[in-house]
Amino acid sequence: MADYKALEDLVIQVRRDILRQVHKVNSGHPGGSLGCAEFFVALYNELMDHNNDFSMDGENEDIFFLSNGHISPVFYSVLARSGYFPVEELNTFRLLDSRLQGHPTTHEGLPGIRMASGSLGQGISVSIGAAQTKKLNNDNHIVYTLCGDGELQEGQNWEAIMYAAGNKVDNLIVTIDLNGQQIDGSTENVLPLGNMKAKFEAFGWDVMDIEEGNNIEAVITGMKKAKEKTGKGKPICVLLHTVMGNGVDFMMHTHDWHGKAPNDEQLENALSQNPETLGDY
């Protein structure tokens, strides 16, 4: 049984990390990062069988790829707080000579990152490749991926979605961050995604919803169900319903904070809504 109180404390600390990272350099993407805090905390603390002693090949462990690389602040925070690199290094986010580049990369050798992402739409393909290598290596572990919902407007995703089902890549769980927002507005206004569940099902995937994507218990319960669906001949898609900017009242339910940092006053307000739990870096 997971210690939900401890996990919720971690989520709050991750929110603070996100806000402080983007505030310091006055750039970065807080909205999507905040919306996925629970997912990342659940993934790295309760769901993945992973080694904090990082190896690029990730053999005999579950591995994760972030396709929508712009939500790097949440990824970096959770990796650091899982022991992949020192938490103090979050201070270097987006600074010159940092391993914490604006978008995640392997180029600077940051532990925990196995593929550069940022140019959207490539993560599912990459994850399929890693999943097929696991099968070739008789490695009975799972490959997890997170994609943005707006990101699904990129055509490469649908090549990958067709391939994964056609080739029974069933050691793969792709989670879609369904927050309904993208840079220019709501997905409904920019380019409607239609019925995502029906689309994935039509391509031959096993699809499930996690309606409360910002409830840590719901995320863990839902993702555990997803895990049980692996190994049954179909790739798994989880539609994770989240709120962009979750946990900071003035950032929620809008695309305004997709790629904008808070000013000093806004930071203070946002942090006061998320009092320090585990200690700031």
Partner 1 sequence: MKKYTDSGKKDTRSGFGDGLTELGKKNKDVVALCADLTGSLKMDEFKKNHPERFFQIGIAEANMIGIAAGMTIGGKIPFTGTFANFSTGRVYDQIRQSVAYSGKNVKICASHAGITLGEDGATHQILEDIGLMKMLPGMTVINTCDYNQTKAATIAVAEHEGPVYLRFGRPKVANFTPADQKFEIGKAVQLQEGTDVTIIATGHLVWEALQAAETLHENGISADVINIHTIKPLDDEAILKSVKKTGCVVTAEEHNYLGGLGESVARVLSTQHPAPQEFVATQDTFGESGTPEQLMDKYGLNASAIVAAAKKVIARK
Where on the chain is the footprint of partner 1 (CB under 8 A)? 56-59, 63, 65, 105-107, 114-119, 122, 124-134, 136-137, 139, 155-156, 159-160, 162-163, 166-167
Which residue lies nearer to partner 1 by CB, 52 or 119?
A: 119
Which residue lies nearer to partner 1 by CB, 56 or 224?
A: 56
Which residue lies nearer to partner 1 by CB, 108 or 268?
A: 108
Least CB distance from residue 84 to partner 1, whole Å?
Answer: 16
- The span from the CA of 154 to the CA of 126, in Å, is 15
Least CB distance from residue 157 to partner 1, whole Å?
Answer: 9
- The span from the CA of 110 to the CA of 125, in Å, is 22
Least CB distance from residue 16 to partner 1, whole Å?
Answer: 30
Least CB distance from residue 9 to partner 1, whole Å?
Answer: 33
- The span from the CA of 116 to the CA of 113, in Å, is 8
Which residue lies nearer to partner 1 by CB, 192 or 233?
A: 233
Q: Which of 125, 145, 173, 131 is nearest to 68 (CA)?
A: 145
Which residue lies nearer to partner 1 by CB, 67 or 77?
A: 67
Least CB distance from residue 145 to partner 1, whole Å?
Answer: 10
Least CB distance from residue 158 to partner 1, whole Å?
Answer: 9
Q: Kindly tell me the sign of the dihedral angle through the C-alpha atoms of 93, 96, 98, 99.
A: positive
Pairing of strands 172-178, 181-182: unpaired
Which residue lies nearer to partner 1 by CB, 162 or 191?
A: 162
- Sheet containing strand 143-148, edge to edge, reads 63-66, 143-148, 172-178, 236-241, 206-210
Least CB distance from residue 61 to partner 1, whole Å?
Answer: 11
- The CA distances from residue 237 to 4, 112, 142, 145, 173, in Å, are 25, 23, 13, 10, 6
Structure tokens at 241: 């319903």
- The CA distances from residue 43 to 223, 224, 240, in Å, are 8, 10, 13
- The span from the CA of 219 to the CA of 49, in Å, is 17
Pairing of strands 206-210, 236-241: parallel
Which residue lies nearer to partner 1 by CB, 96 or 136?
A: 136
